[in-house]
A = this chain, B = another copy of it.
């Protein structure tokens, strides 16, 4: 199956955007002395924006994700404010689990907390697939957003199976995913069953966003950095490949990102990603070298620098841009999500810098 004919990418509305061009490996357009590097920020829609905090007042996180009008408005806020080159759909990686019937809440200051951890073969057997129509609120939110965005591409996203499985096994966030990593070795068949379930649920979530109009997709494997390369390749990569297979027949570029993954960059690309997201721990020049010089990269402003004086941050961003220019293509981003306390004006200024306006 290809993208529907009225999809923004198929219709040519976003295919020549700076973001999609970079994700497809094309160098940025240069007009005069101005080099326009596309830029967006992980967690750009969220707590750093006063208009977000106002809108979310009294609304629980997961409720806001499942309200198409609210999710759409939140997605649009940073695009309007900063002039970033893409929206990223406002949701949460646990949303598809919730829609598949898993009891989960997002506790402010903690993260997702599950009523019943999934730790045995019987626990895994109780997990249900997504029912028809379950993802409708997501698709509706995406469709509304895409219509409002016009020629600015929307990025759909999903959590990778390992990160979702880790949350499910631990019952919530954990420091080093110890229980999940024990299960992977102690009971590989239960682990594989859990990972395959997670791959299909999160893959369907990603596919729904793309079919509803997202022009690119990002898979977040937040916790992959706790794994050795050997464990990643044996116990994780097959399920990540399976998750991405849900969108592989649709012609949209896919980004794969995790933190602390400098040893895993090639393996994370090779599950089926077109672009590799890089965190702040390794320079983009070195990341590009490890990737063989053929893969577009995304990243990697150190979020800690957003709180430093502008000259310090500016020098850092210029260094990131210079290193990114060594790769076939570069989308500027942070090396992790926007910290909640970030001054939004700083992000706007970074966008101007990436667009060659300062």
- Residue A34 at the B interface, CB < 8 A? no
Expressed in whole angstroms, the Cα–Cα distance for A226 and B335 within the complex equals 11
User: Do the beta carbons of A182 and B308 come within 8 Å of each other?
Assistant: yes
Number of copies: 2
- Residue A246 at the B interface, CB < 8 A? no
Which of A178, A309, A336 lies at the interface centre, i.e. has the most chain B CB atoms within 10 A of its CB? Answer: A178
Q: Which of the residues B259, B263, B282, B303 comes within 8 Å of A282, measured between beta carbons?
A: B263
User: Do the beta carbons of A309 and B228 come within 8 Å of each other?
Assistant: no
CB-CB contacts below 8 Å: A66-85 with B: none
CB distance from A178 to the nearest CB of B (A): 5
CB distance from A298 to the nearest CB of B (A): 17
User: Do the beta carbons of A185 and B305 come within 8 Å of each other?
Assistant: yes
Expressed in whole angstroms, the Cα–Cα distance for A19 and B176 within the complex equals 28
Residue numbers in B under 8 Å from A263 (CB-CB): 262, 281-282
CB-CB contacts below 8 Å: A273-304 with B: 280-283, 302-304
Interface size class of A (residues with CB under 8 A): 35 or more
**Contact A185 to B312, CB < 8 A, known contacts A178-B303, A262-B263:** yes
Q: Which of the residues B184, B225, B302 comes within 8 Å of A260, measured between beta carbons?
A: B225
**Contact A226 to B281, CB < 8 A, known contacts A176-B336, A263-B262, A302-B181:** yes
Residue numbers in B under 8 Å from A262 (CB-CB): 262-263
Output the nearest chain B residue to A225 by Cβ-Cβ distance.
B260
Q: Which of the residues B186, B259, B283 comes within 8 Å of A308, measured between beta carbons?
A: B186
Q: Which of the residues B178, B179, B281, B307 comes within 8 Å of A228, measured between beta carbons?
A: B281
CB-CB contacts below 8 Å: A287-335 with B: 302-309, 312, 316
26 inter-chain pairs at a CB distance below 8 angstroms, sorted by A residue, are: A176-B259, A176-B303, A177-B304, A178-B339, A179-B307, A181-B302, A182-B304, A182-B305, A182-B307, A182-B308, A184-B304, A185-B305, A185-B308, A185-B312, A185-B316, A186-B309, A186-B312, A225-B260, A227-B281, A228-B281, A228-B283, A228-B302, A229-B282, A260-B260, A263-B281, A263-B282
Task: Apart from A178-B303, A226-B281, list 10 A-B contacts with CB within 8 A.
Answer: A176-B303, A179-B304, A181-B304, A185-B304, A185-B305, A186-B307, A225-B281, A227-B281, A260-B260, A262-B263
List residues of A whose CB falls within 8 A of some B CB. 176-179, 181-182, 184-186, 225-230, 259-260, 262-263, 280-283, 302-309, 312, 316, 336, 339
